[in-house]
A and B are shown apart, each in its own frame.
Chain A
Amino acid sequence: MSHLTLADYNKLLREHQELQLRVTRLTYIEQQLRLAQDRLDHELGLYKRLSSFFTRLVKSRDFDLFMQLAVEAMVDVLEVETAAFLFRNHKTGELFYVTEGFTPQNDGDSELFRREIINLSQMTLRSKAAIIPSNRFGLFEVLQRFNRGLFYHATDRDVGISVYLLGLISIKKSPIYEKLTDKHETLLGIFAQGVQSALVSWFQDTVIKGQREKIDKSETELKRLTLIAKTIENGVAITASDGKVDWTNKQFIKLTGLRKKDYSGKQIGEVLDLSPDDRKKLEEALRKAKNIDFPVRYEHKKGNCKFFQLEVLPVRDEEGDLNNFILILKDITEEARFKEEIIRINKRFETIAELANVGIWEWNKPQNSIRWNEVLAKQFQFDHLGSQEMLLDVWLNAIHPDDKDYVLANRQKVINKECEKLTQMYRVILRDGSLRHMQAHLQSEFDERGEFIGLVGSTRDITDVVNANKVERDSYLLELALDRVNPILILDAFGHICYFNQPMLTLTPDIDGCKGQKVDLNRDQQCSISGVYKLIATYSNRWEDLRTVEIPFLNNYKAQFYPTISARGELLAVILISE
């Protein structure tokens, strides 16, 4: 049996320690192998993420989503803290900018970051994914917060787009992120090429799609226009940009009486038999390629004269270049003849009005113009050829001061649509100092939308009629005023109560407190005062027919209706109840 010497013991101890180290070193080497395996596994995972991104990218049809997916994928695939994606469309000048993991520190940060990305592209090679040299970051205000980064930028001049892709790791977070290596450059390179290809394809698709949509739209529009042109009652001619006729519809032939050989390939201005002035207008419109719409007189081949509304429409492409002209002929012969007839009727009416000594006038509000006839000018002692402002001044100055408020208020009632028309009497003091009584009719006019567009009116000098009846009327009123026994009610031309005495109040208590109002005195009985109103309306248009009428009143009474004229020249209805 041998004994273990000290030397043997020490040797064994050393060998034991060596063995321990080998065990742990074996563990370490094994771990290194595992880490290498993990790195490859992880890298494979990154490529899988890249592949997954491209699959989603292909399916994406929304551009904003596309950009968002791209920055999220950069963070995921490159394993960076922050990603930015800038895209410039040179044709439209639009700039799209999306970030992921970037926290602005103030309002201007985001915009500054965007500018710095573009500035960074001036310092780096195009179309190459590269790690940003560490000394670059310090040159920028926002980028100096980062100390690692990857950048790619490229421009496709054919499609007109630029792409900028940036992945960053901040100084603060860099200890927890993997160091950027050529592996990341490769990944970004593949990623960028994929993004760029997708963008180019996406934009070309968009352009093609846009063009196809335009063609489809144009075709549809053309079909629609052809259908319209064929079926409408208007004549349509399409010319080339030089004015030579390309196409016409059947109605054009019918309206003009031309045959196809008469116009085909010829200048439209030469083909249409227009007056020299109209031809000049048409040729100028074609030469200057401007839109014009004007009435023309046309000598039809069959010998009869026609009137057309001729519209010239220049048609331009998207770049603004002239393609052709569309000419539309609308047959307005009937309207033109009708207009001539109206003019003739108006002239006849004006003659009659003059013969009947009726002054007529018309105020057109949109044009702010006033027309009047000679009779009116004579009535107000005004020069027929004077200005409309002068006419207005003369008229306003002539109205009797006591009547002016009432006359102007009535005019305003008509303008405000409180009544459509009215007849009034007022006095005027002419330049020679004479007092005249005028009966005036006033009527408002409205367009098809109900907008007020003006007034028309007439005036008659009824001074002679008023004077002739004045003595008799005054005696009536005096007689009535003295009669304190019989009930009396006086209404104005609008049916408003002007006066009643105590016996009338006793008889019809309803009228108490109703002065100035229009009151139906007998709402429940057949024989109401509405009959009186009708009479007033009748006389308001025929002052010369003023006469006394007996009317039924409140069933059991007989009343006399005395139409008369007040000192202000107003029509008054006096109702006197007899026993």
Chain B
Amino acid sequence: MECLESACGEQYADVNLLIFHASIGHNFDDLMSEARRLAPNADVVAASCCGVVGREGVSESMKDIALMAVRGDEYALAFTDEIYGHNSYEKAKELALSLKAQKEGINMIYFLGSGIDIANDLCIKGFEEVFGSDVTIFGATSSDNMRGHISFQAANDNVYEHGAYAIGFCDPSLYVDTQATHGFIAVGDPLTVTKSSGHIIHEFDGKPAWPEYLNRLGVDADVDCGTTIPIGALGEALPDDLAKEYGNSHLLRVVTKFDGNDVYYATTIEPGTPLWLTVRDEDVIFSEMDRIVKCIVDRNPGRKPVAVFHADCLARGRFLVDRILKEELVFKMQQPFSENGECPPWLGMYGFGEFARLGGENTYHNYTTALYVIYRK
């Protein structure tokens, strides 16, 4: 209730849509039933994460919560359970068809799916097949606190561990501008995928994938994803034009699951693809953050954001830099969108992955800060 009052004042009971991000310590069944009790007429969606970002800044305890409240009915909501890497395309298309059936004129889709065992490029494909590539897909994948053990997604009376929800916005006067950035530099020789199926990598350089990955990372053979995620970002080389826009020559991918020797990649991966290990560069992180914020502001001169959604990789959040730097980073991204010191409605989360356009295409990212700034035309 305190959270609802803080976001909506005393009139929280009559909002139409509540979007919650809650850190993993929450009981999502309790959270959803309480939200539905307090705002009985609203659609309620939620996802687990490793920390939240709001107007007030960063919060990363086991029980943090943040929300964005929406008034008005210019949206459609669809949700699904049992989404995995092997059926990501079908499930995303099913969501897209449901959205399209509910409302005409959807021009942007906020998508939030499971962060474990999912092929996010296929999710994009599923949505684009229904709505075309002009519809912007933005959002994130849910997470735990970087254990790669479990993540939650919830919609109205349903709480899922392998689900997804999608919100299609259809107010023709609104549009979203997106951009993502990381600050990692590729090092050394790449690991080459020599055997894969879909989003699962079986071999690197002709050797079992998971052991070889750990070997290249220089960590013990019995570690889990909690150890590898912060240091194990894998980079895919980008063409020069995209590299220029991206501010980096590599697009990063995270490994959130392994099964035996198999590595679960975040998107479909073809044999022969070289993947680079990467190292962080804090100077690049800060300079690139400044650059993308400036790009967004420059692309929308004189406009005041209606709201900002923000997805950040948990490996950049809790486990990347210390708290002071993190707060400074968040301040640097919020300040340019603020007016008279007041930050627009802001909902951010530390998850496993982010969606944002790159080269004009809907693209899935990892280890980035992705900003989704909604403007009125």
Binding site for B on A (CB under 8 A): 16, 19-21, 23-25, 27-28, 30-31, 34-35, 37-38, 41, 45, 49, 75-76, 79-81, 101, 103, 175-177
* Beta-carbon nearest neighbor of A19 in chain B: B188
Question: Contact: A27 with B279, CB < 8 Å?
Answer: yes
Question: Contact: A24 with B277, CB < 8 Å?
Answer: yes
Q: Chain A residues near B145: list those with CB within 8 A.
A: 176
Question: Contact: B216 with A20, CB < 8 Å?
Answer: yes
Distance to closest chain B CB from A31 (angstroms): 4
* Beta-carbon nearest neighbor of A45 in chain B: B323
Q: Chain B residues near A76: list those with CB within 8 A.
A: 61-63
Q: Which 3 A-B pairs have the closest CB atoms?
A: A25-B218, A175-B149, A31-B231
B319 CB-CB contact with A under 8 Å? yes
B318 CB-CB contact with A under 8 Å? yes
- Separation of A41 and B324 alpha carbons in the complex (Å): 9
Q: Chain A residues near B30: list those with CB within 8 A.
A: 103
Question: Contact: A79 with B62, CB < 8 Å?
Answer: yes
* Beta-carbon nearest neighbor of B187 in chain A: A23
Q: Is the interface of A mostly helix, strand, loop or mixed?
A: helix
Known A-B contacts A28-B219, A38-B319; the reply to A20 vs B189 at CB < 8 A is yes
Selected contact of B62 from candidates A16, A28, A30, A177, CB within 8 Å: A177
- Separation of A23 and B276 alpha carbons in the complex (Å): 12
Question: Contact: A41 with B322, CB < 8 Å?
Answer: yes
Question: Contact: A20 with B150, CB < 8 Å?
Answer: no
- Separation of A21 and B191 alpha carbons in the complex (Å): 12
Known A-B contacts A20-B189, A49-B61; the reply to A28 vs B24 at CB < 8 A is no
Q: Chain B residues near A101: list those with CB within 8 A.
A: 25, 27, 63
Question: Contact: A176 with B24, CB < 8 Å?
Answer: yes
* Beta-carbon nearest neighbor of A78 in chain B: B62
* Cβ contacts B26-67/A at 8 Å (1 or 0 each): 010110000000000000000000000000000011110000
B217 CB-CB contact with A under 8 Å? yes
B230 CB-CB contact with A under 8 Å? yes
Distance to closest chain B CB from A552 (angstroms): 81
Binding site for A on B (CB under 8 A): 24-25, 27, 29-30, 60-63, 144-145, 147, 149-150, 187-189, 215-219, 230-231, 277, 279, 318-320, 322-323
* Beta-carbon nearest neighbor of B215 in chain A: A21
Known A-B contacts A24-B217, A28-B231; the reply to A79 vs B319 at CB < 8 A is no
Distance to closest chain B CB from A171 (angstroms): 13
Q: Chain B residues near A35: list those with CB within 8 A.
A: 230, 319
Selected contact of A27 from candidates B24, B29, B215, B231, CB within 8 Å: B231
Q: Chain A residues near B215: list those with CB within 8 A.
A: 21
Q: Is the interface of B mostly helix, strand, loop or mixed?
A: loop
Question: Contact: A24 with B63, CB < 8 Å?
Answer: no
Selected contact of B277 from candidates A16, A27, A30, A75, CB within 8 Å: A27
Additional pairs, 10, CB under 8 Å, beyond known A175-B150, A176-B24:
A21-B216, A21-B218, A24-B216, A27-B277, A31-B230, A31-B231, A34-B320, A35-B230, A41-B322, A103-B29
Question: Contact: B150 with A176, CB < 8 Å?
Answer: yes
* Beta-carbon nearest neighbor of B24 in chain A: A176
Q: Chain A residues near B320: list those with CB within 8 A.
A: 34
Distance to closest chain A CB from B202 (angstroms): 21
Q: Chain B residues near A45: list those with CB within 8 A.
A: 60, 323
- Separation of A101 and B27 alpha carbons in the complex (Å): 7
Question: Contact: A75 with B63, CB < 8 Å?
Answer: yes
- Separation of A542 and B217 alpha carbons in the complex (Å): 129
Please, could you name 13 A-B residue pairs with CB atoms under 8 Å apart, sorted by A? A20-B189, A23-B187, A24-B188, A24-B217, A27-B218, A28-B219, A31-B230, A38-B322, A75-B25, A79-B25, A81-B25, A101-B25, A177-B62
Q: Chain A residues near B216: list those with CB within 8 A.
A: 20-21, 24
Q: Chain A residues near B149: list those with CB within 8 A.
A: 175-176
Question: Contact: B219 with A176, CB < 8 Å?
Answer: no
Distance to closest chain B CB from A223 (angstroms): 47
Q: Chain A residues near B318: list those with CB within 8 A.
A: 38
Question: Contact: B322 with A75, CB < 8 Å?
Answer: no
Question: Contact: A28 with B61, CB < 8 Å?
Answer: no
Question: Contact: A175 with B147, CB < 8 Å?
Answer: yes
Q: Chain A residues near B29: list those with CB within 8 A.
A: 103
Question: Contact: B150 with A27, CB < 8 Å?
Answer: no
- Separation of A282 and B41 alpha carbons in the complex (Å): 75
* Beta-carbon nearest neighbor of A32 in chain B: B231
* Beta-carbon nearest neighbor of B325 in chain A: A41
Question: Contact: B319 with A30, CB < 8 Å?
Answer: no
- Separation of A175 and B322 alpha carbons in the complex (Å): 24
- Separation of A30 and B279 alpha carbons in the complex (Å): 10
Distance to closest chain A CB from B145 (angstroms): 6
Q: Chain B residues near A16: list those with CB within 8 A.
A: 189
Distance to closest chain A CB from B182 (angstroms): 15
